[in-house]
Homo-oligomer: A and B are copies of this chain.
């Protein structure tokens, strides 16, 4: 067999990098649970018609086929891998509505797949960490309270706090604000205007103005739309800037109030996290309120590492609607970048803290008892693979970054000793009580 080569777009980490990823996921999960989000995992596949039901084929769905497929059993034909975690979640909520409690707070950390052309920040297989709150709205008037749009960014900020990551900034807008403004301005198709402004980074201001005019705007309207897209403030002063543009519309006012609430709460609970950025639009049609994108400062080229928004009509049956608000962290995008530039690693390549040395192969059962005793006190321990010369056993530890080697006493009555292989210090140690410094017990994440 020849040595295999990597598949473009399907990243795989080394064990030390996987340890970093796990610690990041642990932090996300613990924080989500501290905020009362329940865990969920959905199957990897969805019926193709569900994946494509918005007519959106740009997600480049991977379709499945059984190699041994037969006509007699077509139960798994027409399936594709999910391209995000929102579509499966909406389907799960519909399917299990009778067994869930609403409002339903859930988090979901899973892989997703898209057959797009691999490039920086875009993978064909990638890990997402999502939080959503979904309610069951039994009447057309009832809906999900807007305070969840205030809460979700605070949960994400809380989750990423204290990790050795570059700082993030969340850019927030509100669909009602944009749509209301374009309505009040008299644009013929406010939703089309949102889609055009969403391409601001690619088109530039002149391109956006041109496209708006193509879509039926006057030069003056296009100019006003650009003026709105230029507003970016770290506080609620965006409201004054909007007012200064002289457009009036009830939906606009609602949007300004909702965005102000988000910005104000963030200023109190997570100062510096968030800016009101009226250029943010998000491409997807289903957003109806707050929309979020997140920049990793200094790494803007990879795109948003946490996006989402409020959606009122993603899932519904004949009788019930399930409005929700969600945010999705792009874990692979974030880590792929930081691993790629060597900005993130682990303090060692194995979980092991102590290697128990062997004087002879016959000493293995006794060494296994030593290891079991240390593990019983939460110290990751393995026994040496062989009774090679001590120098070679120490090198085994060294190559993996295992900080301690334990030498059991050779004869009954001989004391055990433990060596810190970084300093070379070797001391007599009592198996029942010896404890490594807490920072050595488990591998830790180190910034680059």
A residues whose Cβ falls under 8 Å from a Cβ of B: 1-16, 18-19, 21-22, 33-45, 47, 50, 57, 60-69, 73, 75-76, 79-81, 91-92, 94-97, 99-101, 103, 105-106, 111, 113, 115, 117, 124-125, 145, 147, 151, 154, 158, 265, 268-269, 315-318, 349-352, 364-365, 368, 372, 375, 378-383, 385-386, 399-400, 442
Closest to A4 in B: B95
Per the bound structure, the CA–CA distance linking A43 and B268 in Å amounts to 41
Q: Which B residues are CB-close (under 8 A) to A44?
A: 44, 111, 113, 125
Asked if residues A5 and B45 are in contact (CB atoms below 8 Å), the reply is: no
CB distance from A360 to the nearest CB of B (A): 13
Asked if residues A350 and B36 are in contact (CB atoms below 8 Å), the reply is: yes
Asked if residues A37 and B3 are in contact (CB atoms below 8 Å), the reply is: no
Per the bound structure, the CA–CA distance linking A365 and B67 in Å amounts to 57
Contacts A3-B94, A67-B57: A103 and B36 contacting too (C-beta < 8 A)?
no
Per the bound structure, the CA–CA distance linking A298 and B281 in Å amounts to 57
Asked if residues B61 and A67 are in contact (CB atoms below 8 Å), the reply is: yes
Partner of A101 from the list B92, B97, B400 (CB cut-off 8 Å) is B400
Asked if residues A45 and B1 are in contact (CB atoms below 8 Å), the reply is: no
Given A1-B317, A19-B39, A35-B380, 19 extra CB contacts under 8 A = A1-B315, A5-B95, A10-B45, A12-B42, A14-B96, A18-B38, A35-B381, A36-B350, A38-B349, A62-B67, A63-B65, A67-B115, A68-B115, A76-B115, A101-B349, A101-B350, A101-B400, A154-B368, A269-B372
Asked if residues B101 and A399 are in contact (CB atoms below 8 Å), the reply is: yes
Partner of A351 from the list B6, B12, B33, B63 (CB cut-off 8 Å) is B33
Per the bound structure, the CA–CA distance linking A316 and B1 in Å amounts to 6
Per the bound structure, the CA–CA distance linking A317 and B76 in Å amounts to 37
Asked if residues B43 and A12 are in contact (CB atoms below 8 Å), the reply is: yes
Asked if residues A75 and B7 are in contact (CB atoms below 8 Å), the reply is: yes
Closest to A81 in B: B64
Closest to A148 in B: B385
Partner of A350 from the list B38, B50, B68, B79 (CB cut-off 8 Å) is B38
Asked if residues A368 and B269 are in contact (CB atoms below 8 Å), the reply is: yes
CB distance from A203 to the nearest CB of B (A): 24
Asked if residues B63 and A66 are in contact (CB atoms below 8 Å), the reply is: yes
Contacts A4-B94, A45-B10, A99-B14: A34 and B378 contacting too (C-beta < 8 A)?
yes
Asked if residues A92 and B15 are in contact (CB atoms below 8 Å), the reply is: no
Q: Which B residues are CB-close (under 8 A) to A65?
A: 62-65
CB distance from A298 to the nearest CB of B (A): 27
Asked if residues A15 and B106 are in contact (CB atoms below 8 Å), the reply is: yes
Contacts A43-B125, A400-B101: A67 and B76 contacting too (C-beta < 8 A)?
no
Closest to A376 in B: B34
Closest to A45 in B: B10
Q: Which B residues are CB-close (under 8 A) to A91?
A: 4
Q: Which B residues are CB-close (under 8 A) to A372?
A: 269
Per the bound structure, the CA–CA distance linking A184 and B97 in Å amounts to 63
Asked if residues B40 and A115 are in contact (CB atoms below 8 Å), the reply is: no
Asked if residues A62 and B64 are in contact (CB atoms below 8 Å), the reply is: yes
Asked if residues B103 and A385 are in contact (CB atoms below 8 Å), the reply is: yes
CB distance from A17 to the nearest CB of B (A): 10
Q: Which B residues are CB-close (under 8 A) to A22?
A: 39
Q: Which B residues are CB-close (under 8 A) to A73?
A: 117
Asked if residues B269 and A36 are in contact (CB atoms below 8 Å), the reply is: no
Per the bound structure, the CA–CA distance linking A16 and B39 in Å amounts to 8
Q: Which B residues are CB-close (under 8 A) to A349?
A: 38, 101
Per the bound structure, the CA–CA distance linking A208 and B400 in Å amounts to 49
Q: Which B residues are CB-close (under 8 A) to A76?
A: 7, 9, 115, 124
Asked if residues A382 and B95 are in contact (CB atoms below 8 Å), the reply is: no
Asked if residues B317 and A2 are in contact (CB atoms below 8 Å), the reply is: yes
Asked if residues A18 and B34 are in contact (CB atoms below 8 Å), the reply is: no
